[in-house]
Structure 1
Amino acid sequence: MGSETVIYSGVGADADPWHDLPRTSARLADVLGDAGALQIVSSADALAALLDQVGVLVVNASANRGGPTPADQQFGRLVERFLAGGGGLLAVHSSTIAFPGLQSWHQTVGASWEQGRTFHPPLERTLVRRTEVKHPIADGMGDFWVEDERYTDLLLVDGIEALYEHTHDGVTHPLLWAREVGGGRVVYDALGHDERSYDAPERVELLRRSAGWLRG
Structure 2
Amino acid sequence: MARKILRIFLIVIVLLLVILAVQAFRYRDTIQRVFLGGVKIYETQPPELPASLPRPAVLVFSKTNAFRHEEAIPAANALFRQIAREKGWGYFQTENGAAFRKDILSRFDTVVFNNVSGDVFTGDRRSAFENFVDAGGGFIGLHAAGDNSHEDWPWYARNLIGAAFTMHTMSPQFQTATVRLENRESPVLTGLPAHWKHNEEWYSFAASPRLKGYHVLMTVDERTYNPEGMFGKDLRMGADHPVIWWHCVGRGRALYSALGHQAEAFRQPEHVRLLTNALSWTARQTGSECDIAQPGPRP
TM superposition score normalised by structure 1: 0.83
Equivalent residue, structure 2, for 1:40: 93
Partners of 1:62 and 1:95 within 8 A in 2: yes
The CA distance in 2 between the partners of 1:79 and 1:23, in whole Å, is 23
Q: Structure 1 residue 156: deviation in Å?
A: 4.8
Q: What residue identity is the alignment partner of 2:100? A: L
Question: How many pairs were matched up?
Answer: 206
Q: 1:132 to 1:57 in 2, by over 3 A?
A: closer
1:134 counterpart SS class: coil
Where does the alignment leave 5 or more consecutive residues of structure 2 unmatched?
A: 1-54, 224-235, 285-299
Where does the alignment leave 5 or more consecutive residues of structure 1 unmatched?
A: none
Q: Report the RMSD for the aligned CA atoms in angstroms.
A: 2.4
Matches within 5 A, 1:94-105: 94-97=144-147, 98-105=149-156
Q: Structure 1 residue 56: deviation in Å?
A: 1.0
Greater helix proportion: 2
Equivalent residue, structure 1, for 2:137: 87
Matches within 5 A, 1:78-157: 78-97=128-147, 98-106=149-157, 107-113=159-165, 117-120=166-169, 122-132=173-183, 134-139=185-190, 141=192, 142-157=194-209
Q: Structure 1 residue 85: deviation in Å?
A: 2.5
Partners of 2:169 and 2:201 within 8 A in 1: yes
Partners of 1:96 and 1:109 within 8 A in 2: yes
Q: Structure 1 residue 28: deviation in Å?
A: 3.7
Partners of 2:110 and 2:279 within 8 A in 1: yes
Q: Runs in 1 of length 4+ with deviation above 4 angstroms? A: 154-157
Equivalent residue, structure 2, for 1:174: 242
- Sequence identity percentage: 20
Q: Structure 1 residue 44: deviation in Å?
A: 2.2
TM superposition score normalised by structure 2: 0.62
The CA distance in 1 between the partners of 2:145 and 2:131, in whole Å, is 19
Q: Structure 1 residue 118: deviation in Å?
A: 2.9
The CA distance in 2 between the partners of 1:24 and 1:193, in whole Å, is 10
Q: What residue identity is the alignment partner of 2:141? A: A
Equivalent residue, structure 1, for 2:13: none
Partners of 1:31 and 1:208 within 8 A in 2: no
2:260 counterpart SS class: coil
Greater strand proportion: 1
1:176 counterpart SS class: strand
Moved more, 185-194 or 73-82: 73-82
The CA distance in 1 between the partners of 2:69 and 2:115, in whole Å, is 11
Q: 1:144 to 1:202 in 2, by over 3 A?
A: same
Partners of 1:148 and 1:191 within 8 A in 2: yes
